[in-house]
Every structure is written in structure tokens, then in C-alpha cells.
Amino acid sequence: SRQFKQLLATKGFAGLSETERKAVFLKACGYKTSEISEKTGRSAKSVDNTLFRARKKLRSYIDGTK
């Protein structure tokens, strides 16, 4: 979405850890959790948790609570 692309170009995206940025980028490119797991060498559960944390941070940024 347009809002997501704008967010990627702002400090909101910079608020993510390197691991979160990689996972979000790969997810935005259409990779499945299992594929992200393979590419990053992390378990699927770890990728799920990483994406959850990243979504929470990005949502807070979008909502203006952070």
C-alpha cells in the first residue's frame, strides 16, 4: 500500500531491528514465512515472532503512539 511504502522511507522503518527490517522486506516482496525462514536461517516460529514485533512497532508508529 502507499502508506506502507511511505513508512519504509521514514524513521518508522528505522525503528526496527536489522532482523525485523529484513523479515518485513522479504514479506513485502511476497515471500512466505517458510521461505523467509530458509533465507535467514531462523526457525519459522522465530520469523513469525519477528514479524509480529515488527507489525506492532509499525502500527504504533502509524497510529502515532510512538
Mean pLDDT across 27-54 = 96
Task: Please write down the HEC assignment for all residues of the chain.
Answer: CHHHHHHHCCHHHHCCCHHHHHHHHHHHCCCCHHHHHHHHCCCHHHHHHHHHHHHHHHHHHHHCCC
Residue 8 pLDDT exceeds 90: no
10: confidence class by pLDDT, cuts 50, 70, 90: low
pTM: 0.77
More confident residue, 14 or 11: 14
Residue 62: predicted pLDDT: 77
